[in-house]
Structure 1
Amino acid sequence: MEYRKGCRIIIPLNGAKNISIIERDFLFLNMEQQSKDSNIKSTIEAVASLVKAVPVYEDALQPAAKQIGGALETITKAVNAALAPVKVLVWGYEQIERWLVETVTKKLSNTPAENISAPAPNVVVPAIEALRYMGQEEELRALYANLIAAAMDSDTKVEAHPAYVEILKNLSSEEAKLLQSFSLQAAYPAIDVKGLAGDGTYILYKRCYNHLNRILNAEKGKLLPTYIDNLVRLGILETPLGVELSDQMAYVPLEVDAELNDLLAMITDQGREVRFVRLTIRLTVFGAQFIRQVVRSK
């Protein structure tokens, strides 16, 4: 795979009198390989080739084969129709370069020229490759741009960890929105809802209930437990046992939430006593660094 240098980054003056153009080496994947390297295009072409390879059967001689061939053609058309939108969603390297240079230039517009340097290849190259599939994901695109900008600033490039690219690849747009809330506040209250039986046994009815879903739409909010589990898996968040917020009043809105009324009534009808276990959803040390370098805009 080839690389090329010499991409010019033009930074707005913003009142500065002594800086107009900053030229720095920037690595970009060779755009001449764009069409050949596209896995999606190869997949679609492979399907088309498969159809062309199916022999044409004479109606009179091979009616059964004709029927099978017709069924295969119908399936192939359906596959092609399903894959067609992917062509639009996958960005080419020229498109990535245009967007990235413009975006990163804006993010570094207040950075001293002497602080701007070529980013580490093990950060920027995987990030650019991943951007091919993020053309329609505005929230995730912004995070990639933040990471590349951090990797080009001498004050922050040491903290631009290569692992951040892999984390971004495992995030949905909704999880990116959730992380924005943790850039404002490092910890949030949550509760487990349990039912205590007469013999002292517990049943967990709802785990880690919280109000972070209010920043998502109603449909995506149903997946909030999955999003939190994923962010915990990635080492960004944690819900340590026995750790509560110092502000105990922060749990009251959760415990009196009308959305829990039906659940609490069901627990009581089953002859169990409702118990709330107070929890904390918070950033890990690694997660706090990720927020600083990737989630917060420069």
Structure 2
Amino acid sequence: MENEIVDIVKATPNILGEIYKDLAQPSVRAIGNALGTVFEFSTAILLPLKLKNEKLKMTFKKNLDDYKEKLEKIPEEKRCKVHPQLGTPIIEKLTYTTNEEIADMFTTLLANASSVDMVNTAHPSFVSIIERISPDEARIMRCFQYKRDWEYCSYNANLNDAEGFVKLKEHLTLLDDNAKITFPQNMNAYIYNLISLGLLVDMSGEYKIYRENYDAINKKNGLDDLRNELVPQKFKSIDVEESFIRLTPFGRLFLNACIE
């Protein structure tokens, strides 16, 4: 078995040669120049073995083609070699990442790591962050490209027979409509995850003076109907907490590096 693996590795000395027939193409040469050192680290057994699987090879080629298109947009004099610390794990991810939005973030990060002007934005931790977000969360982050703060409302129902309250709903926003997410019921979990990753911050305790978005959130979630249904039958009153979620400086760097 060990000899068989060694034979496979020896038979795949050139990763690009496995993917592209014409290695003389300027665009293919550009990939080789940018990722040469990365491929040296990636040819240690696993990548050559993966490329023997036709499905993985097709996925890798599609993602590498996307990277190639982005690389071509960078002027030749502005291109640089990708550091293996960032490039090697991305290359591994590109063999099996089939979701277009997640793959696009990986290839955008790789392209920015190939640019003299953008390499400073390509933080190595972004590779693991992309791994830990869903396609819906990627769409949510795109919304922060054009709006740094997104308002939210949380509904707290005050108890009839005791002090304290029950949190009925929290972090109700207009993000799910704007981001066109697939699973809006997971919005609260998405927000908590993006906060835990340091991309967003909950500005609880602060609120926006301009009320239009708060009113739109309450109308969308039927606040008046909720009060009519539950007050005073089950609760003394329903209070609305108004605040907003903000993009962090780290989140801004992530957007610049990973989202075109």
Superposition TM-score tier, normalisation by shorter sequence:
0.7 to 0.9
- Identify the match of residue 33 of structure 2 among 15, 19, 24: 24
Query: For 1:293, what is the secondary structure of its paired residue?
Result: helix
Which of the residues 72, 75, 84 maps onto 1:112?
Answer: 75
1:277 is aligned, of 206, 225, 241, to 241
Shift of 1:251: 0.9
**TM-score (normalised: structure 1):** 0.69
**Contact kept in structure 2, 1:116 and 1:153, CA below 8 Å:** yes
Change (3 A) 1:258 1:239: closer
**Paired position in structure 2 for 1:188:** 150
CA distance in 2, matches of 1:272, 1:9: 73
Q: Which residue type is aligned with residue 120 of structure 2?
A: V
Please state how far the C-alpha of 1:130 moved relative to its aligned partner: 1.7
Which whole-Å deviations, capped at 9, do the CAs of 1:247-289 have from their partners, x for residues lacking one?
3322110122254455333431224212111011121111111
Decide which of 169, 179, 182 is 2:141's aligned counterpart: 179
For residue 287 of structure 1, the aligned residue among 247, 251, 254 is 251
Helix, strand or coil at the partner of 2:72: coil
1:178 Cα deviation after fit? 1.3
**What SS does the corresponding residue of 1:91 show, helix, strand or coil?**
helix
TM-score between the two structures when normalised by the length of structure 2: 0.78
Confirm or deny that 1:253 pairs with 2:216. yes
Q: Secondary structure at the match of 1:133?
A: coil
C-alpha contact (below 8 Å) 2:156/2:168 kept by paired residues: yes
Verify: 1:99 aligned to 2:62, yes or no.
Answer: yes
Change (3 A) 1:37 1:99: closer
Secondary structure at the aligned position of 1:108 is classed as: helix
Q: 1:33 to 1:191 in 2, by over 3 A?
A: closer
Q: Following the alignment from structure 1 to structure 2, what is the Cα–Cα distance between the partners of residues 216 and 140?
A: 16
The RMSD of aligned alpha carbons is: 3.1
Structure 1, unaligned runs of 5 or more: 12-20, 42-86
Give the distance between the partners of 2:236 and 2:46, measured in 1 at CA: 65
Deviation at 1:4, TM superposition (A): 5.7
Alignment of 1:217-228 (within 5 A): 220-228=183-191
| Letter paired with 1:196 | N
Percent identical:
20
Whether 1:122 and 2:85 are equivalent positions in the alignment is yes
* 2:139 aligned counterpart, secondary structure: helix
Which structure has the larger Rg?
1
- Aligned to 1:203, which of 163, 166, 188? 166
Once residues 275 and 202 of structure 1 are traced to their aligned partners in structure 2, the CA distance between those partners, rounded to angstroms, is 9
Q: Distance in 1 between matches of 2:13 and 2:136?
A: 34
Q: 2-side partners of 1:120 and 1:35: how far apart?
A: 20
Q: Give the paired residue count.
A: 236
In structure 1, C-alpha distance between the alignment counterparts of 2:254 and 2:172, rounded to whole Å:
24
Cα separation, partners in 2 of 1:3 and 1:206, compared to 1, 3 Å: farther
Name the SS for the 1:205 alignment partner.
strand
Using a 3 Å threshold, how does the CA distance of structure 1 residues 230 and 192 change in structure 2: closer, same or farther?
A: same
Question: Which sits farther off after the overlay, 108-117 or 147-156?
Answer: 108-117
CA contact (8 A) 1:10 1:105 kept: no
Secondary structure (helix, strand or coil) at the match of 2:198 reads coil
- Alignment-derived partner of residue 204 in structure 2: 241
Is 2:96 the partner of 1:143? no
Distance 2:25 2:208 in 1: 46
